[in-house]
Chains A and B, each alone.
Chain A
Amino acid sequence: MDFAHQLVQQLINGVSLGSIYALIALGYTMIYGIIKLINFAHGDVYMVGAYIGFAAVTIGNMPIFPALLISMALTAVLGMLVERIAYKPLRHAPRISLLITAIGVSFFLEYTSMYFVTPTPRTFPEVIPNISFDIGGFIVNGQQLMIFGITIILMALLTYIVQKTKLGKAMRAASFDTETAQLMGVDSDKVISMTFCIGSALAAAAGVLVGVYYNTIDPLMGIMPGVKAFVAAVLGGIGILPGAVVGGIVLGVVEALVSGFISSTFRDAAAFAILILVLLIKPSGLFGKNTNEKV
């Protein structure tokens, strides 16, 4: 296998891993955009999503697509509950209190899940036929196609909601200027709740897709992808939706290239090296801009 060939192959792997980061990063960035909270529990919401999908497939005997939808729906409710119970009472508290609470929620989800499902990793059943396609010498497997397809559909749907619907306009307005959005009649509590709902559903989709892709899930599976998705969101410019997608894909590709050409041991180090570089060189991220207000 020559270098160019392997490069393309790693790019394919990187984009599929990156799509997953992107789905998680979208939730991170949406929630940050609206309440300026780095929701450290987001990775654990993704883990719960994976388990719900797992339960739907194994106990519920469902095909993968209904299982995915059920997982997204239930995890969306979980996200709204977390916001309502843990974050809403702190709306006017200092931001550090909110951040610490998010870490608490993260531990709560991890260890409560562990209590119920045991720490033993579970093996995700083979839900789609294990086929791979040889496209001009490059291997793309069924799971990867499924990840691409679902990610594209979800992103198109999200773009539609944010750009075209009344809810989306309210979300953009509230994340730009909450107070003025209220003057327009936007109920900011409702918008915040819906943001957690959508963000958590996307994380759940990512959780189920990871289960399908890597075949294994465990209660602490959300920690690393959670942190990585945070890096992706910062890389793209936190609070900016297209930034989260690009950041996720770039991160996935870098990780795949490092694993493929250097050593998979350095995979995680690469992600954090990116975070450090972004914070040093352009803290506002790839898509971040300095806005000037006219007075």
Chain B
Amino acid sequence: MAMLEVKDINVYYGAIHAIKGISLSVEEGEIVTLIGANGAGKSTTLRTISGLLKPKTGAINFLGKNIAGMPAHKIVREGISQVPEGRRIFAEMTVLENLELGAFTRNDKDEIKKDLEMVFGRFPRLKERITQLAGTLSGGEQQMLAMGRALMSRPKLLLLDEPSMGLAPLLIREIFSIIVDINKTGTTVLLVEQNANMALSIANRAYVLETGRITLSGDAKELAASEDVRKAYLGG
């Protein structure tokens, strides 16, 4: 059984039908990516899985439990953690406080300390800025903080929404190699990206979204090689 199974969900923003019957699955240990143009419904899909939006119909099974419609603060406890689009760090709190909030659901102090060290191991720059207000960090550092914060809940599944947004190419490469690293140490990843090239280069499988529907899906390498995808999303 897949770790995450989204079955035929429909999501509305008021009267607007944003997600029109999407189904997808993520197996344990995979990196799966959702690619597509602006407004295709990638973020909406992710926000529905994390509980910020409720599907009108359809089911979302995570580790065999239907989590569709469950409030976001409970879904974190089930083992899903989201790095939101635009990072959404708590700018008026320190780097350490942001990371502590990431561990909000946990009470195992010693283990939290270990995970803090793990995050600082992955993102040494955060350790240098531990007492700084998060709002004073650079864009790349804020992305690292948002990822570190999400890892602090020890997620089984990490949802990443546009981690490359607004970052310089060199930084994007750094962030993506960290995503691969995180995946190698046992965290399953569902990645939403507009930078389809980068996303397909690290993913096992991919889904292509167009105006609220999945139009293509399959092995990431094959999709990257396919003529249709190259034309539409990879710049020829």
Contacts and interface: CB of A to CB of B under 8 A. Distances in A.
Interface of A: 166, 169-170, 172-173, 176-177, 179-188, 291, 293-295
Interface string B136-159: 001100100000010001000000
Given A180-B88, A291-B135, A295-B86, A185 B76 contact: yes
B72 interface: yes
Interface size class of B (residues with CB under 8 A): 20 to 34
Interface of B is mostly: loop
Contact of A166 (B88, B104, B142): B104
Given A180-B84, A182-B52, A184-B149, A173 B76 contact: no
B72 A182 contact: yes
21 contacts: A170-B101, A173-B93, A173-B101, A176-B92, A179-B84, A180-B84, A182-B72, A183-B52, A183-B84, A184-B76, A184-B102, A184-B104, A184-B149, A185-B73, A185-B104, A185-B105, A186-B101, A187-B71, A187-B73, A291-B135, A294-B142
B104 A295 contact: no
Contact of A182 (B71, B139, B153, B166): B71
Contacts of B135: 291, 294
A184 B73 CA distance: 7
A183 B90 contact: no
B90 A176 contact: yes
Given A172-B92, A172-B93, A177-B90, A186 B84 contact: no
A254 B113 CA distance: 49
A26 to B, nearest CB: 18
A169 B101 contact: yes
Contact of A188 (B73, B82, B88): B73
Nearest to A180: B88
B27 interface: no
B156 to A, nearest CB: 14
Interface of B: 50-52, 71-73, 76-77, 81-82, 84, 86, 88, 90-93, 97, 100-102, 104-105, 135, 138-139, 142, 149, 153, 165-166
B166 A183 contact: no
A295 B165 CA distance: 8
A177 B166 CA distance: 21
A184 B81 CA distance: 8
A150 B50 CA distance: 44
A24 to B, nearest CB: 24
A177 B89 CA distance: 9
B101 A184 contact: yes
Given A179-B72, A186-B101, 9 more contacts: A172-B93, A176-B92, A179-B88, A180-B88, A183-B84, A184-B102, A185-B153, A187-B73, A294-B139
A176 B91 CA distance: 8
A189 to B, nearest CB: 9
B87 to A, nearest CB: 8
The 8 closest A-B pairs by CB, nearest first: A185-B105, A185-B76, A182-B72, A180-B88, A185-B104, A184-B104, A184-B101, A187-B73
Given A169-B100, A294-B142, A183 B91 contact: no
Contacts of B102: 184
B14 to A, nearest CB: 12
A259 B81 CA distance: 58
Most buried by B among A184, A186, A293, A294: A184
A176 B93 contact: yes
Contacts of B149: 184
Contacts of B101: 169-170, 173, 181, 184, 186
Contacts of B72: 179, 182-183
B90 A180 contact: yes
A183 B76 contact: yes
Contacts of B77: 185
A193 B209 CA distance: 40
B104 A170 contact: yes
A293 B104 CA distance: 24
Nearest to A190: B73
Contacts of B50: 183
A190 to B, nearest CB: 9
A19 B161 CA distance: 46
B94 to A, nearest CB: 10
Contacts of B165: 295
A186 B73 contact: yes
Contacts of B52: 179, 182-183
A141 B213 CA distance: 74
A173 B90 contact: yes
Contacts of B86: 293, 295
